[in-house]
Amino acid sequence: GNKNINAKLVLLGDVGAGKSSLVLRFVKGQFIEFQESTIGAAFFSQTLAVNDATVKFEIWDTAGQERYHSLAPMYYRGAAAGIIVYDITNQASFERAKKWVQELQAQGNPNMVMALAGNKADLLDMRKVAAEEAQAYAQENGLYFMETSAKTAANVNDIFHEIAKRLPRV
């Protein structure tokens, strides 16, 4: 029959990569050019239907983890899913994303469904991180990879949908 799944999902990544914008796009279908920076963390929930289940995502959009790194585990502990976000126009944000992946692999839920989002895919002229490089990294580390744009909505629903499909059916 149809299953109801509640899944805690955490967004991690460098400041400015577009975590809040991805959530806003997914939850409200909106984009704000000058998104106010998040203080602490923000909580959202959104329900998504996949073929055999209805998944209610409980989304934690984190911020300020550079300064208050010790708070991060509060948000990823017990999370069923994680989206690690970088900005395709910013190489440092990709390096930062890899650090988050390492931390989740070491400290997170071992069954966490992880996705890597190369965001701002609309800014092709400013690209610094090759899609092939990120795809190869994701494959080596068992992450699902997509390039997204919170601005144009490209692949935003898709990445959440893909995570929903991969969550364990208990």
Binding region for ligand GDP (CB under 6 A): 13, 15-21, 32-35, 37-38, 119-120, 122-123, 149-151
Q: Which is nearer to Mg ion, 88 or 167 (CB)?
A: 88
Cα–Cα dist 92/167, whole Å: 30
From the list Mg ion, ligand GDP, none, pick the one residue 33 interacts with, judged by a Cβ distance below 5 to 8 Å according to partner type: ligand GDP
By the 8 A CB rule, do 9 and 59 touch?
yes
Cα–Cα dist 112/132, whole Å: 24
Phi, psi (degrees; rounded to nearest 5) at 152: -95, -10
Please, what is the minimum distance in Å from the beta carbon of residue 78 to ligand GDP? 22
Q: Which is nearer to ligand GDP, 5 or 89 (CB)?
A: 89
- Report strand pairing: 53-62 vs 41-50: antiparallel
Q: Which is nearer to Mg ion, 13 or 108 (CB)?
A: 13
Residues that bind Mg ion (CB under 5 A): 19-20, 38, 63
Q: Which residues are CB-contacts of 131 (< 8 A; sequence separation ≥ 6)? A: 88, 118, 147
Please, what is the minimum distance in Å from the beta carbon of residue 119 to ligand GDP? 5
